[in-house]
Amino acid sequence: MAIYRSDQAQLTFAAEPAQGADPELMQGTASGGTALLKGAHSRGARSILIDTIATAEVVVGDFIRIGTVEGTYANTKSPHEVRRIEALEGTQQSGTTPGNEITVILDRPIAFNHVDNVEVKEVTAVGNESTADEDQSKFITWIPGIYETVDTPDPEMSIEGKRFLNTNSKRDFSVAYAGQQTLTGSVSGIMLLNGWPLRFPIGTVTSSPSATATDSILLASAASKGDVFIAFDGDEDDIAVGDYIQIIEADGTLSEIRRVVRSVADYNLESGESGTNTVKLNYPLHFDHANNAVINEITHSSSIVYTHVIEEAVDLSTVSWHVHMKDSSETATKDFDRRYLGGMIGSSTITAEEGGMVTMSWDSVNFLNMTHNQANQKTLASGGSSAPASGDLYYNASVAANMPRYALMQPIDTNDVGMPSSMATITDVNAGEGYPSTQPYYFSEGTIKFFGQEFARIRSFSLSITNNEEPRYYIGKQGARARGPYEIREGARDYGMSASIALPDADVIAGATAANASQDSALELFRQLLLEGNYGANAGNMKGFSATIKFERGTNDSIIIDIPGSTTAGTPTATASGLNSQGIFINTAPHSITSDNPFQVDVDMIFRSLKMTITDNVPVYP
């Protein structure tokens, strides 16, 4: 008999354009008439306003597609996504012309911006996800690295027994009520193959190539974070399907790289239009970009080097996780899919130890919500009945599904894994780049510098990032039986680092000058402990010291962590006393006498900021 096995499961993730809004362009199987969206709606909206017509009457439990689909996917040049109706406010119009405006409460926020008067249609199935266009619209396909276990954030229920005065209690609770729900997960021991998972507990990532083409291309209009369709001005016909482009502001900021999966030439050819200048990107934008932002074509090759800079941000990007499981017979109808929404990486650790690989853990990730593909539970009445049945949540919906948090969503198959939509042609259905083929980062390829001195005898280190995030529960309509957080807010950020250090040679390091000889000895760590980062005569002159951690796989292939941040990777900014400018401080560094030789010290430190710079041959970062 078939069983579910851990070795037939996979976790993929993607950044969300808005908290709790999983990004996926999905057409679905449309049915019924068409309603119109009233007014523009921005990403993150939890409800929409529509103008109803009789043939588009909807009920709680129905699935709707928000966004206009122009004939076929190939011709579509605007965002479209599927959500479930959890509540309706207002009276729907009977008739054949647009009528009353009603508010539709959705099961989760929308991921994309939608303009006024786009269509809203009822859908009854996922659609043909095997087609190239459907594959092209899956974005939750990234993997964090090599991992073995996942603590899935399935809801933790708080069901409480309540006691009140009645003669039949007999010391037992009288009745049980459901309370709030929490959704917390983690992924431990991720072996890094690139820098994809690094930014999420820290902030933003900007990416830039070592060389670009000289085409004259600008954004034809402002683009927003989360946009997948953008418009060009200039030599846009030079951009073909499969090309990589850099989108960067005129002042050189907010640089990001995307791949084109539908070109201007494609849209003109297939729709018969002329003059359209829209392209489709392989992944939603990270940033808002102004009109006339610069578009640079990239001739991607093994000789092109990409620099990805991770810097702190006040507001962290949230992530969607998709867990896909097959039974051992690999029967498609038995696939078990769960999608977790609004995940904020609360705490994370980067570790390495002698003889091992560099690993990262997402130690604590709080989520807002989840969806799944388990439509019905047989002890509940099925959907589609004419009147509510006991326990039937969506009794009159067009999709026979009675389970809370059930959603229509595309499966993320093995051939989807990796950087999304790498299509060389529009008929290529293998949309994902696949698992990274790079080697992991090894501890033996790393170096650590404290206060400008390289310690060759680091036996292990652990760098922790804590965001002290807090799930908030507010009054507001959510999905049926969904009592999870309404939002998650970042708290104070804390960094810490520990290391086991075998002290360097007692002799002065070769090349040391008379001026710095005393700082290049085996006892400098002890001196730093006593100084407490105070290098002046006054007690208030605490500056701390700097550090650089570098893991290098080869030429132009490295991860550099600068503490504090830097303008030049590998050269941390000089520390200073006062606000927002200090470096690392040693809390403990006991020089205990043990059996370890050379003499070993376990150091525990805190610091206030960092910056990461990754150099590799990977163009797009999530």
> pTM for this structure?
0.91
Q: Is the pLDDT of residue 433 over 70?
A: no
How many other C-beta atoms are found inside a 10 Å radius of the C-beta of residue 312?
15
Mean pLDDT of 425-431: 45
Task: Give residue 384's pLDDT.
Answer: 46
Report CA torsion sign: 304, 309, 315, 321: positive
The rounded distance, in Å, linking the Cα atoms of 251 and 605 is 37
In three-state form (DSSP H/G/I as H, E/B as E, the rest C), the secondary structure along 79-145 is CCEEEEEEEEECCCCCCCCCCCEEEEEECCCCCCCECCCCEEEEECCCCCCCCHHHHCCECCCECCC
Q: What is the pLDDT of residue 449?
A: 81
E-state strands within 514-610:
547-554, 557-563, 585-588, 600-607
Residue ranges per structural domain of the chain: 27-125, 211-304, 443-616
The predicted pLDDT at position 425 comes to 47
Going by pLDDT thresholds of 50, 70 and 90, the confidence category of residue 472 is confident
Low-confidence winner among 302-306, 474-478, 509-513 (lowest mean pLDDT): 509-513
Q: Determine the pLDDT at residue 387.
A: 46
Q: Is the pLDDT of residue 351 over 80?
A: yes
Query: Would you say residue 428 has pLDDT above 60?
Result: no
**Which of 328-332, 428-432, 502-506 comes out lowest in average pLDDT?**
428-432
Q: How high is the pLDDT of residue 162? A: 83
Under 8 Å CB-to-CB from 190, ≥6 apart: which residues? 144, 145, 146, 147, 197, 359, 360, 361, 362
Supply the mean pLDDT for the chain. Answer: 85
d(CA 473, CA 422): 40
143-157, 392-406, 436-450, 512-526, range with the lowest pLDDT: 512-526
Contact partners, residue 288, CB within 8 Å, separation at least 6: 222, 223, 224, 225, 254
Q: What is the band of 481 on the pLDDT scale with cuts at 50, 70, 90?
A: confident
Greatest mean pLDDT range, 449-463, 511-525, 553-567: 553-567
Q: Could you tell me the sign of the dihedral formed by the alpha carbons of 429, 432, 435, 436, in that order?
A: positive
Q: Which of 79-88, 101-110, 114-123, 235-244 has the lowest mean pLDDT?
A: 235-244
DSSP 8-state secondary structure symbol assigned to residue 528: H
Lowest-confidence segment of 51-55, 236-240, 288-292, 562-566 by average pLDDT? 51-55
Residue 517 C-beta-side C-alpha neighbours within 13 Å = 7
- Those residues whose C-beta lies under 8 Å from the C-beta of residue 74, and which sit 6 or more positions away, are 133, 262, 266, 270, 426
In this prediction, residue 234 carries a pLDDT of 79
In this prediction, residue 618 carries a pLDDT of 92
More confident residue, 382 or 77: 77
List, in order, residues 6 or more apart from 168 with CB less than 8 Å away.
none
Q: Is the pLDDT of residue 516 over 60?
A: no
Angstrom distance (rounded) from CA 107 to CA 404: 10
Q: What is the mean pLDDT of residues 417-444?
A: 68
> Among 448-452, 541-545, 553-557, 618-622, which is the least confidently predicted range?
448-452
Measuring CA to CA, which residue among 184, 185, 191, 183 is closest to residue 144? 191
**Statement: residue 429 has pLDDT above 50:** no
The third-level CATH classification (topology) of the domain covering 27-125 is Elongation Factor Tu (Ef-tu); domain 3 (2.40.30)
**pLDDT exceeds 50 at position 376:** yes
Distance of alpha carbon 619 from alpha carbon 15, whole angstroms:
16
Residue with more model confidence, 323 or 165: 323
What is the 3-class SS of 146-164, one letter each residue? ECCCEECCCCEEEEEEECC
Pick the CATH number of 443-616 from 1.20.1070, 2.30.110, 2.60.40, 3.30.420: 2.30.110
| pLDDT single digits (tens) 193-209 | 999 999 999 999 999 99
pLDDT class for 392, splitting at 50, 70, 90?
low
How is residue 206 annotated by DSSP? Answer: E
Structure tokens at 535: 């290098």
Percent of the chain with pLDDT over 70: 87
For residue 115, what pLDDT band results from cuts at 50, 70 and 90?
very high
Q: Which two tokens stand for residue 361?
A: 């853990």
What the block records as the tokens of 477 is 């309509």
Which positions ≥6 away from 484 have C-beta within 8 Å? 155, 180, 181, 182, 183, 367, 368, 369, 471, 478
Tokens of 123: 């859908």
pLDDT tops 80 at residue 288: yes
Q: Which of 83-87, 228-232, 489-493, 591-595 has the lowest mean pLDDT?
A: 591-595
H or E element, residue 247: strand 244-248
Q: Which of 115-119, 212-216, 406-410, 438-442 has the lowest mean pLDDT?
A: 212-216
61 vs 383: CA distance, rounded Å: 9
Tens digits of residue pLDDT in 558-595: 999 999 888 888 888 888 888 888 889 999 999 888 88
pLDDT band at 292 (very low <50, low <70, confident <90, very high): very high
The pLDDT value given to residue 565: 85
Among 19-28, 68-77, 507-516, the range scoring the smallest mean pLDDT is 507-516
Structure-block tokens of residue 83 = 């959500």
Residue type, 252: G
DSSP SS3 for 75: helix
Check: CB of residue 7 under 8 Å from CB of residue 330: no
